[in-house]
Structure 1
């Protein structure tokens, strides 16, 4: 059956389908143990767990930001991982749990999506919704994703959008937080069990070969990729180790 006008949209050159049709299975896919997700995001596991499950502190109970309710699950879905990558952009600031939760809850209500910030729609045609939601939630300006009513993204918002590969209306791939903007390293939940890779080859496998004594050129020939890709893989693994 052909798609109807309600099923497929085109915004700013991006064609995407209704998330209820094609995206939810990818975003809901349980990809990582919590500890592995924290390692890939280069952040403390305790912080990620706080965002996922909330906590009680000083007599106050803080509900999760990334989940609609406490689940006691120690596994992380792709949608949760993507949204955590966005919050990680504020790693040098204290994330205000109540306001951020209110902000994301508002987006969930308006979009009907459990992972609204892992969809492309709010970042293009829905920037007015982002702006309204952050104001309604009384989110401090330093955590805003849209700087004004004209839809101009802030630096954290813009940096996040450009780290994501968007397809069919959702985040399909993500450049790891510690990888530079020029790096070809990506995280894809449907490749290599969601581990960082280049051209479908695990960066860890490439770096291990070099560390074992093989030359960059030998590794490139063995895996059928360029020597430059191997160098990028080694650089990424070194950066990840330093960020741990």
Structure 2
């Protein structure tokens, strides 16, 4: 009797597919659209044709660099680390597939009892020297699989396995919630119709740049 075919995770086939417009990716990572192009051009990020959409892997790498830059890391050190990790681990997307952490000065990954410092081309350091890993990124099977794009306390998640990687709350894309809100529907009706709690709905609208406390001219009146 033939063995049953192994389950294929089709979502993994989409990780490298262009899916996020530059402006959209920039908004998620909280950087200017021009910054996205500049970081790709100066090799802080991997190669990408000018104006081309970003894949999920490229989006996560953009988010990583933005977070590390915010923590105080120099772009020159990030570029050195990227080149080192990409070559050592033979991966075109080291920032999306390796568990990395920073103290605002160095970029490192666990290496047994030590830390492997990427921007120092593989120098080892004690783990106690460098502290945090960004908690908004979650790893699974060697990949950043879930990103809480609006921060660790927000319910907004980007996950390539859900809604083709669109930001969502409780499985409902934030863009859909924005459209329903912009059409004038009351919060309670959107919440009930799409089975999203009002708290999560409000968080999704805030992520989409909408303050749900503001009055709308086209709001439905019953």
Change in CA separation of 1:26 and 1:130 when aligned onto 2, cut-off 3 Å: farther
Change in CA separation of 1:101 and 1:173 when aligned onto 2, cut-off 3 Å: same
- How far does the alpha carbon of each residue in 1:71-121 deviate from its partner, in whole angstroms, 9 at most, with x for none? 446221211211110111245588644432221111112211111221255
- How far does the alpha carbon of each residue in 1:219-242 deviate from its partner, in whole angstroms, 9 at most, with x for none? 1111022222212222322379xx
| Match among 19, 22, 35 for residue 47 of structure 1 | 35
Asked whether the equivalents of residues 136 and 151 of structure 2 are also in contact (C-alpha less than 8 Å), the reply is no
Counterpart in the other structure of 1:210: 181
Counterpart in the other structure of 2:139: 166
Counterpart in the other structure of 1:136: 121
Q: Which runs of 4+ in 1 moved over 6 A?
A: 21-24
Asked whether the equivalents of residues 116 and 122 of structure 2 are also in contact (C-alpha less than 8 Å), the reply is no
- How far does the alpha carbon of each residue in 1:16-41 deviate from its partner, in whole angstroms, 9 at most, with x for none? xxxxx999745423221222211222
Higher-helix-fraction structure? 1
Q: How does 1:1-244 map to 2 (within 5 A)?
A: 25-54=13-42, 64-67=43-46, 69=47, 71-72=49-50, 74-92=52-70, 96-121=74-99, 126-128=109-111, 131-136=116-121, 148-150=125-127, 153-155=130-132, 158-159=133-134, 162-176=135-149, 179-238=150-209
Aligned residues: 197
After TM superposition, the score normalised by the length of structure 1 is 0.66
Asked whether the equivalents of residues 35 and 45 of structure 1 are also in contact (C-alpha less than 8 Å), the reply is yes
Give the Cα separation in 2 of the matches to 1:33 and 1:237.
15
Asked whether the equivalents of residues 157 and 168 of structure 2 are also in contact (C-alpha less than 8 Å), the reply is yes
Give the Cα separation in 1 of the matches to 2:183 and 2:54.
32
Asked whether the equivalents of residues 207 and 230 of structure 1 are also in contact (C-alpha less than 8 Å), the reply is no
Give the Cα separation in 2 of the matches to 1:73 and 1:85.
18
**Greater relative contact order, per chain length (Cα 8 Å cut-off, separation 6+):** 1
- How far does the alpha carbon of each residue in 1:23-63 deviate from its partner, in whole angstroms, 9 at most, with x for none? 97454232212222112222111111111122xxxxxxxxx
Gaps of 5+ in 1: 3-20, 55-63, 139-145
Larger Rg: 2
Asked whether the equivalents of residues 107 and 130 of structure 1 are also in contact (C-alpha less than 8 Å), the reply is no
Give the Cα separation in 2 of the matches to 1:197 and 1:84.
19
